[in-house]
A and B are shown apart, each in its own frame.
Chain A
Amino acid sequence: MKTIRFIFFTALIIMAFTPPVLSLETKAVAVPVAEVSAPEFQFESVPEGTKVTHDYIIYNKGSEPLRVLKVRTG
C-alpha cells in the first residue's frame, strides 16, 4: 500500500511541475505589414510654379491585404 501511495504522489508531483504540452505549430497572426523603402524625397531646385510629383512605394510584407485608410497632408 505504501508503494502505491509513493508512486501516486511521485506521479502527482511530476505532473504538477511538467508544463502543459504545447502544439508544435506556432500560430502566426495574419496581419498586413507596411514598409516604405524611401519615405523622404528631396527634389532638385525648381522654379516657382513648377508642379513636383513623386511616387512613394508602400510594400505589404504581411499576409493580409494592406489598406490605406486615410491620407493627410501638412
Chain B
Amino acid sequence: MTIAVSTSGYGGKTLSKTIQVYTSDPEHKIISLKVSGAVEKMVTIEPETIRLTGKSNEEITAVVKVLPMEKYPFTIKSISAKNEKILGLDLQPPEGDNPAWNIKVTNKQTQPGRYFDVITLVTDSIIQPKIKINVFGNISE
C-alpha cells in the first residue's frame, strides 16, 4: 500500500498522520499505519495572512515580506490575485543585502463589505513552485 503525504502548510512543524486500513481479517479489522517527520520551512511570510481593513474612501494597503530560507533559495517569477479587480499588487524584488521580497497589496474594492482573496506567487523552486497567501478584506463606509 503506497501513501503520499503533502507537507504543504507544515513548514517548521512536525507532520504526523494516521492511516486506518479496514480489512477482512476478523482479528485485525483495523490496521493503523503512522507516518511522521519534521518539515523544514522553505520561506517566511510576514504576515502569513493579509488583512485589509479600513474605510472605502481611504487607501488601504499592506506590505508582505517574503523571505526565502537560505537553504532553499528561489525567485518569484510572477504574482497574481484570484480577483484582480479587488486587489492591486506590486512586487518589489530584493535590494542590496536584504534577501526579502516585498509585496504591496492595495485594496481596490470600493463597496463596503467583507471579502476573501488569494494571492499566488509563482516561483522557480522545484519544491514549492507556488506559494499562496490569503487576503481578508473588511471595508466600511
Spell out A's residues near B (CB within 8 Å): 31-36, 39-58, 62, 64-74
Contacts and interface: CB of A to CB of B under 8 A. Distances in A.
Chief secondary structure at chain B's binding surface: strand
Given A70-B22, A73-B19, A74-B18, A50 B127 contact: yes
B11 A48 contact: yes
Given A43-B35, A52-B37, A71-B1, 13 more contacts: A39-B31, A42-B37, A48-B128, A49-B8, A51-B4, A51-B6, A53-B3, A54-B2, A55-B2, A56-B19, A57-B1, A71-B20, A74-B17
B25 A52 contact: no
Contacts of B69: 47
Interface of B: 1-12, 15, 17-28, 31-43, 69, 71-72, 125, 127-128
A43 B33 contact: no
17 contacts: A31-B26, A31-B27, A32-B24, A34-B23, A34-B28, A39-B33, A42-B37, A43-B35, A47-B7, A47-B127, A48-B128, A49-B125, A51-B7, A53-B4, A54-B2, A72-B19, A74-B20
Contacts of B17: 73-74
Nearest to A54: B3
A65 B139 CA distance: 62
Nearest to A48: B11
Contacts of B35: 40-43, 52, 54
Contact of B7 (A50, A55, A66, A73): A50
Given A62-B25, A73-B17, A48 B8 contact: yes
A23 to B, nearest CB: 24
Contacts of B127: 47-50
